[in-house]
Amino acid sequence: MDARRFGNVQGLTIKGTRRIYDAFYSSAGMLFAQRGGFFRPYHDAVFRRFWNHDIELDDLAAISGIVTEFGGSAGDFEAYVEGPARAEHDRIIDEAESLGVFGVPTMVFNGELFWGGDRIPQLIERIRDPSTADLALGRNRA
C-alpha cells in the first residue's frame, strides 16, 4: 500500500505483482544502461511498464527491447547478460548484504545505514553535516 500511495502522488499506477520474479535481466539492464548513459529513461520505463503489467522482468526479449528503445544495442546487452553481468550483479548484492541492506529504500552514507522512506530527512541532514553522526551514534567527539 505504501508503494501505491507514493506512486499515486507521482501519477503512477502500481498494480500488485502476479508472481515471484527473477529480476536478473532487468537488473543487468540497469547496469548496462548506466554504462551506456541512459539509466534514467531505462529505469523509468521498466518501472512504469512492470507495475502496469506491460512487461515481465524476467523476459530477456522485453528487457532487450527497452535497452534498444533508449539507444543501446540488443546484441551487446545480451552478450553482457551471457558474460560478465551475473558476476557483477552478484558482487553488488553481496556488497549490499555485507553493509546490512535488506529492504527498499536502503541508503548507506559514510558507512551508516538508513532504512525506510521516513529516514530520508535524516540522511539529508547527515549529508549536509556529517559530523552529526558522532552524536547520533553515541560516539564521543572528544
pLDDT tens sequence across 42-91: 999 999 999 889 999 999 999 999 999 999 999 999 999 999 999 999 99
Task: Please give the class, per CATH, of domain 2-99.
Answer: alpha beta
Residue boundaries of the structural domains of the chain: 2-99, 106-136
Residue 103 — pLDDT band, cuts 50, 70, 90?
confident
Asked whether the whole model's pTM tops 0.85, one would answer no
pLDDT in tens, 33-43: 999 999 999 99
Mean pLDDT of 113-136: 86
Instruction: Determine how many CB atoms are found less than 10 A away from the CB of residue 109.
Output: 14
Structural contact between residues 84 and 109, judged by C-beta atoms closer than 8 angstroms? no
Distance in angstroms (rounded) separating the CA atoms of residues 43 and 33: 8
DSSP lists the bridge partners of residue 112 as 109
Q: Phi-psi region for residue 37, left (φ > 0), alpha (ψ -120 to 50) or beta?
A: left
